[in-house]
Chain A
Amino acid sequence: MEHDDDGVDEHDTPAEVDATFRTLRRVAITHVVLFLAALMGVPALSLTLGWWSDGRLAGGMSPGFAMAAFGLYAFFLVIGLAAATLSSAVEARMLGGRHDGEDDGYPEDGELR
């Protein structure tokens, strides 16, 4: 089995990093806009939409209260997870593509036995 010497020497070229950086910046800004829209939207809806505060969800809470009390946290988790997996996927694709298909025989993700 041959060991590629360059395998020890990981480096990225400036052009690759620049392209990745621009993509990730775009991803981050998109997600933050979505995040802020939802976050600011909950109090904003209470100012504009009567149903948001007056409707009664399952016997008691208004939709506004339900969102603030647990809906938003679920949303944060989802958007965080989406952004994190997308960013990691972008980085994996756009950087370090030199070693396609190399299988150095060691278990991926370091599974313990």
Chain B
Amino acid sequence: MTVTSAGTLLALITLVALVTLVVRPRGASTVDFYLAGQRVGVATNALAICGDYFSAASFLGVAAAVYVSGLDGVWYAVGFAAGFVPVLLFVAAPLRRFGEFSIPDFLGRRLASERVRLVAVGVVQIVILSYLVPQAVGSGITWQLLVGHGLPGLSAYATGVVLSTAVVAALVAFGGMRGTTWTQAIQFLLLLGALVWLAAAVAGSGFHYSGAVAELSAEPLANPVNDEAGWHLRPENNHLDPAAPATFGQPGAAYGPLAQFALILTLVLGTAGLPHVMNRYFTSPTGTAARMTTVWVLGLAGLFYALAVMLGTAARQQIAAAVDDHPWLEELTVDGILRVPEHALPVLGRIYGGDSGLAVVAAGALVAVMSTIAGLLLAAAASWGHDVYERHINPRATQSQAVWAGRASTAVVAVTAGGLAIAMQPEEITPAVPSIVAAMVTWAFAIAGSALTPVFLLAIWWRGTTAAGATAGMVVGGLVSVSMFVVGALPVGPGIGEMLMTPTLVSAPLAALVTWLVSRATTAPDDVERQWLVLHGTAADRYAERLARLTIAGPGSAPGRPGRRRRRDADR
């Protein structure tokens, strides 16, 4: 890494830190944006949700997946973006209206059962851990590329892992980094900015998207492998049509027919069960605002992923063409194809922007990773500290004991995630999956989508869900999905392996079925009717809107002024 890129990186990170600390709304009018559904407030909350959601997997992993597998890699992008549609349709508004602070809180109060709450805490912690490990892996890989060497005694990869988890854990535990709406929103804007800059640089230099896809699909898709013959290119098998070669623009380079659907479905169902994202829904002022926030998220996510896919394609074409002009690419590539696909975006940045370009992309990646790690650590530590420690271990905890419980759990979770990331040598798993980071995040989605989403949906939309049913459903969903991909990680053969890695096709319906059956056999909680009023009625929303209107109206507004008629009156 040169001085220029180090300098740019440092400057960018400092800028972000300054902006988030200094720029803060001061007047009454800016807070008013958040009262009951004002558009700016909804948009900012959407930015914050995106800040939590978009991680290394989205930024580096999707482009890497597209780079390696072409169209099959694009399914990651599609799945990640699509996940918010079920959230909008089924979860957003009722979750907010019920008014709890986390998924275990919600399920525990809805089903009136402490056991449900504890099981949900367990599942949530597993999901958080499986989402954390790929973040650490992503930062290790970025550090490896950015700096190239590590602290004494550690490899570059291990240094990256340790630094990112340790720094963020320290900031969260002691530095007061609490993931406020502002900081998350600004961090996402930086991430989006880096991506947009890169896309503009690529497009500006004469990149033709359609033409590139055609050109890349003209020849068989081949990727580097390292075996007895050393590093060389090996063509991918076409899982859909074994007779024909796999190409960039056609599906089949990585997944067989069933596995294509399984992957997408896993990602779609998993978003609703992601704890750190769902926790942000509780801060919308009304249920309706929560819904509109999700619409904004869909728009932002669509933009983000469309750009990422385009950049993955550009990387495949441009990096191969650039090897001659950039000698530093020699050691990273084999015949013009990168050995580690996650390097795609940073390398592209360096090609188009020199060292500063690399720094911009690296800053984006690091910011994405750190803000997601912070959100995950907060969710995990708050859950350990509140759900487990304060409610069960030490109900008479004082304020400072609670603080230390939170800090201790942050440290433990961070160390566990870092340790797992280091133990898991990425090079071992790389040949089996298009992008190691995206694949690992898929596990988190698989567990969330199998154990949490079915129970969630049933609890919100069916009165008959019972505590016993929910517990059974969560346990079944979690166990089946975990065991399926433990089996899939073992060498079982090409098509089956991918199938098992995305077990939601089997485990989610199973969990739903089990929940339904067990709930039929047991009795529902007593106050279901009253909960229904809260979940699906808008009385609290209307009160909040009314209060917001009264708060915002300044002393100068005249009562006789004809305001716009309420929207429900106008039949337009």
Contact = CB atoms under 8 A, between A and B. Distances in A.
A76 B552 CA distance: 34
Contact of B540 (A10, A57, A65): A10
Contacts of B85: 31-32, 35, 76, 79-80
B25 to A, nearest CB: 14
A24 B298 contact: no
Contacts, number: 215
Interface string A27-62: 010011001000110111011000001001111111
A73 B529 contact: no
A59 B75 CA distance: 23
Interface string A71-102: 01110110111011001100111011100110
Interface in B516-555: 529, 532-533, 535-540, 542-543, 546, 548-554
Given A17-B537, A21-B532, A39-B78, A96 B302 contact: no
A64 B71 contact: yes
B209 A61 contact: yes
B221 to A, nearest CB: 13
A21 B78 contact: no
A11 to B, nearest CB: 5
A87 B93 CA distance: 10
Contacts of B209: 60-61
B552 A64 contact: no
Given A28-B90, A113-B557, A84 B292 contact: yes
* Interface of B, helix, strand, loop or mixed by DSSP: helix
Contacts of B303: 73
* Interface of A, helix, strand, loop or mixed by DSSP: helix
A39 B556 contact: no
Interface in B216-236: none
Interface residues of A, number: 68
B214 A80 contact: no
B291 A88 contact: yes
Contact of A103 (B305, B553, B558, B563): B563
Contacts of B268: 39
Interface of B: 29, 32, 35-38, 71, 74-75, 77-78, 81-82, 84-86, 88-90, 93, 208-215, 240, 249-251, 257, 260-261, 264-265, 268, 288, 291-292, 294-295, 298-299, 301-303, 305-306, 309-310, 313, 461, 529, 532-533, 535-540, 542-543, 546, 548-554, 556-569
28 contacts: A10-B540, A12-B539, A17-B532, A17-B537, A32-B89, A39-B82, A43-B75, A44-B261, A53-B249, A56-B214, A59-B208, A60-B208, A60-B213, A65-B74, A65-B249, A68-B309, A69-B310, A73-B306, A76-B301, A76-B302, A88-B291, A92-B568, A93-B568, A95-B538, A101-B569, A104-B559, A106-B553, A110-B32
